[in-house]
Amino acid sequence: MRKVLIIAGPTASGKTARAVETALKRNGEIINSDSLQVYNCLKILTAFPTDADMKLVPHKLFGYLGYQDESSAVAWATLASQKVEEALEHSSLPIIVGGTGLYVNTLVNGISPLPEISSAVRNHVASMDYEELCAKLYKADPGLIGVVTKQQHHQMLRAYEIFLKTGKSILHFRNLPRQVFLSNVEYEYDLIECDRTRLYGRINARFEKMLDAGAVDEVRCFLASIGYTRCDRSMLFKRYRIFNAIGAKEITMYLDGEISFEQMKEIATLNLRHYAKRQMTWLRHHIPL
């Protein structure tokens, strides 16, 4: 049976190092499944692999999109399945590594097809007041109440885009037969578990390391390159997926003079710890032990 290895774990748990070590031992090719490392910007904040690591073993699906491009689980899974097949043809072990559970779940289990959304609809939805959007969506589609929550920001936007495009609930499309990306493969899982206290210490240390490596200048230069002004901030955060990188919003607020440097660090590391907690909950429910 053709094998595919999936290395999973919360942020800062050491997935990248484990992937490189495993690839060297088992003739592996690393395939990125982090939804932010697909972008070619903010490489410090997204913990992009080092040039040295990328020279040691093949790395696929890193940095192939610009900040203005859209990424989705389906688009990624389509490309990832191609890279898996290529690796298997080379008699290499495909190693899927990254922190985006939805991407991995889509590749492994398939996904119900969703309609394509035009940039006009997407921009209109992004410009809406978020609370108003949620109220309108729940009123038009009460079946979503309790299924997609306000805290699931991206899913709410996606559900409203689909409703505007088709007049149908996203739940209608989720009930359609799933699109399958890979067949005749056996998945092997390497789940990196970490004591919460130790993990939170690693998160704090890694964010400090990112700051030392120039994360603030990285965000400053990126904002300058896109002609950012403070009045654009709300739209910027909604429109560009790269701003889901924890630290990007917080550093932008610091550069705008809204919070202090210490407040920026405190908020960012707190958000990283919350994110890690959500990842661990997801992994416990989806990764076979």
Tell me the per-residue pLDDT of 60-84, one tens digit each, with 9 for 90 and over.
Answer: 999 999 999 988 899 999 999 999 9
Where do the CATH 3.40.50.300 domains begin and end in the chain? 2-112+178-194+281-286
pLDDT digits (tens, 9 = 90+) for 204-217: 999 999 999 999 99
0.85 exceeded by pTM: yes
3-state secondary structure of 57: coil
Whether 79 and 140 have beta carbons less than 8 Å apart is answered as no
**Cα 131 versus chain centre, distance:** 24
Q: With a cut of 60, say whether residue 289 has pLDDT above it.
A: no
Count helices and strands (H / E) in the chain: 13, 5
Which of 139-143, 186-190, 234-238 has the least mean pLDDT? 234-238
The reported pLDDT for the residue numbered 65 is: 97
Tokens encoding 55:
């020279």
**Cα 5 versus chain centre, distance:** 19
- Out of 1.10.287.890, 3.20.20.140, 1.10.357.10, 2.60.40.10, the CATH code matching 196-277 is 1.10.287.890
When pLDDT is averaged across residues 158-179 and rounded to a whole number, the result is 93
pLDDT digits (tens, 9 = 90+) for 88-134: 999 999 999 999 999 999 999 999 888 888 888 988 998 899 999 99
Return the CATH class of domain 2-112+178-194+281-286: alpha beta
Higher model confidence: residue 209 or residue 236? 209
Which of 219, 228, 195, 235 is closest to 268 using CA atoms?
Answer: 219
* Cα dist from 263 to 38, 40, 113, 257, 269, whole Å: 29, 28, 42, 11, 10
Q: What is the mean pLDDT of the chain?
A: 93
* Bridge partners (DSSP) listed for residue 20: none
The reported pLDDT for the residue numbered 100 is: 92
Where do the CATH 1.10.287.890 domains begin and end in the chain? 196-277
